Amino acid sequence: MALFDFLEKERTVAGAGFNRWLVPPAALAIHLCIGMAYGFSVFWLPLSKALGIKESIACAADIGLLERILSSSCDWQISMLGWMYTMFFVFLGLSAWLFGGWLEHAGPRKAGVVSALCWCGGLVISALGVYQHQIWLMWLGSGVIGGIGLGLGYISPVSTLIKWFPDRRGMATGMAIMGFGGGAVIGAPLADKLMKYFATASSVGVWQTFLVMAAIYFVFMMAGALAYRVPATGWKPAGWTPPATNGNAMITTRHVHASKVWGIPQFWLVWWVLCLNVTAGIGILGMASPLLQEIFGGQLLNLPLSFNELDTAQKAQIAAIAAGFTGLLSLFNIGGRFFWASCSDYLGRKATYGIFFVLGLALYASIPSLAHSGLLPLFVIFFCVILSMYGGGFATVPAYLADLFGTQMVGAIHGRLLTAWSAAGVFGPLLIGFVREYQIAHGVPKAQAYDITMYVLAGLLVVGLICNLLVRPVADKHFMTDTELAAEKKLAHERDAAASNGAAVTSNGVTSPLAVVFGWLAVGIPLAIGIALTVQKASVLFK
């Protein structure tokens, strides 16, 4: 046997009686690690003082952009560091698109291993960048190489989970993608503790933190990748009735080739559905802290003062409250991924997205009135619901694609669709930042500068609702013929269940109970700790 043969897809085909509930924790192990991309802002403030330690060392006023990038004698601006956040999601979408087809043929195990090498290797290169004080190394390491790892890790379990859970597609993908939303609630507190541990009089402790987290993440991601199994061709859960007998025209039993989706109207409609839902939500995530502080100001401290009337100590107090608000939104982002995706198994994907847009439109349009009335509790509740639907949109869309285009190449199709996330990751923050700054520049008080923003976001949801309403079943001409499907299955190294396992093609999933318990504990305990810490931080909102 050649070295690394165990990574080949043929070696990951599950035997008879394999417990399918072992696959979700494997996916979570990877998603909880790469989900730290959401929490990378915890590094910005320390990195902005990497040389000065206590205070930032400013670059000369006349220094050019290239000199600033290559300089090792002045500290980085937070705006320069923030570009990594944009790069994460741009390269996530691009790599998911470019390598989605390869993943379908290579299998989730190989893709998971490559994801671990890229994401953790990117952290190591970033550590070198911090040590040498070269921001371009950080952009290359975590931004580009790490971003590629994000894309591969994000889509690696999608096709596999949908095939293991044809009866609960939404719930299955919701469990895994919940992990991506939850990565920050584990990683950010861990990073904070590590930076404090490694901080010295000459170091802010970031490069050491990068190395430690790279090692921890590599162990978890490799364990997850090696635990992946794919069902043999023809496998199905015992007692499950295939969708064809359910009379739902929006669920197909045929399959579209990923290379053809660019020319299918339904793909572009769903692309815009995801893009517009993400654009609205990601903008809120990016401005949640200043939004709460500037709108409610002294009310957060039971004082009749605007934000600009507060002193430095009072602003520090409301900043802590706003951090709790951001943490609360993160919890609803996580929970919404599982809740809404699971609901979509009963409501249907199209109806679930319809709820996102109709309810979201009502909530966004109500925000200015709540803000002017000082109704803080309702304001917080409305934003929590909005963020639950933001996360729910990510978790529901893989099942939406499987319903429309079939399961054979859903991972590759999902990868192509994630270019919508890349677009939204750039467009959302720029749009919302521009509208806010334009308002303030033209004399609008900060407390009212978000009104137009909310109405703009509501308008985007109207367009998203129209796109979703236009989605119809895919025309017959777009599906693969039996010959094309057979050729694709051969490329994907699929084998017949009965032939490969010598057993029936059904499984009740009742074996390996200890392995299932251990797998869920391995991912559940860190996630529970992260959620508990986030709840503790969010509790300041209710004091």
Of the pLDDT bands very low, low, confident and very high (cuts 50, 70, 90), residue 65 is confident
- The rounded distance, in Å, linking the Cα atoms of 45 and 56 is 9
Q: Which region, left, alpha or beta, applies to residue 144 given φ > 0 means left and ψ of -120 to 50 means alpha?
A: alpha
Could you tell me the pLDDT band of residue 501, with boundaries at 50, 70 and 90?
A: very low
Comparing CA positions, the residue from 396, 516, 491 lying closest to residue 104 is 491
Determine which helix (DSSP H) or strand (DSSP E) holds 527, and give its type and residue range.
helix 513-538
pTM score: 0.88
- Residue 111, pLDDT score: 95
SS3 479: strand
Say what the pLDDT of residue 327 is. 84
Tell me the pLDDT of the chain averaged across its residues: 88
pLDDT at 492 over 80: no
DSSP symbol at 232: P
Which has the minimum average pLDDT: 36-40, 421-425, 504-508?
Answer: 504-508
- Alpha-carbon distances of 206 from 83, 121, 189, 312, rounded to whole Å: 18, 16, 13, 27
Q: Which of 127-131, 306-310, 422-426, 475-479 has the lowest mean pLDDT?
A: 306-310
Q: What pLDDT score does 170 carry?
A: 93
454/119 Cα distance (integer angstroms): 35
Residue-level pLDDT at 503: 40
Least confident of 220-229, 310-319, 415-424, 430-439: 430-439
Answer whether residue 479 shows pLDDT above 80.
yes
pLDDT band at 136 (very low <50, low <70, confident <90, very high): very high
- The mean per-residue pLDDT over the stretch 93-109 comes to 92
Tell me the C-alpha to C-alpha distance, in Å, between residue 325 and each of 287, 384, 400.
11, 9, 31
Quote the CA–CA distance of 452 and 445 in Å, as a whole number: 12
What pLDDT is attached to residue 82? 83
CA distances from 263 to 260, 266, 430, 455 (A): 6, 9, 29, 33
Per-residue pLDDT tens digits for 356-380: 999 999 999 998 898 888 888 898 9
What confidence score (pLDDT) does residue 447 get? Answer: 67
Residues belonging to the chain: 543
Determine the Cα–Cα distance for residues 212 and 219; give it in Å rounded to an integer. 11
- pLDDT attached to residue 335: 94
Q: Taking residues 525-531, what's their average pLDDT?
A: 93
Residue 485 has pLDDT above 60, yes or no: yes
What residues contact residue 117 under an 8 Å CB cut-off, 6+ apart? 149
Distances, alpha carbon 485 to alpha carbons 3, 158, 369, 482, in Å: 31, 20, 55, 5
- Residue 7 is predicted with a pLDDT of 86
pLDDT at residue 428 is higher than 50:
yes
User: Confidence class of residue 246 from pLDDT cuts 50, 70 and 90?
Assistant: low
Q: Which residue has the higher pLDDT, 495 or 465?
A: 465
d(CA 94, CA 426): 13
Confidence of residue 512 (pLDDT cuts 50, 70, 90): low
- Give 216-244 pLDDT, tens digit per residue: 999 999 999 999 999 988 888 888 877 65
Give the tens place of pLDDT for each residue, 150-163. 999 999 998 899 99
Lowest mean pLDDT, pick from 119-133, 462-476, 496-510:
496-510
Higher pLDDT, 132 or 311: 132
**pLDDT at position 247:** 59
**Whole-angstrom distance, CA of residue 175 vs CA of residue 398:** 12
When pLDDT is averaged across residues 245-261 and rounded to a whole number, the result is 83
SS (HEC) of 193-208: HHHHHHCECCECCHHH
d(CA 115, CA 156): 9
Residues 155-179 have a mean pLDDT of 91
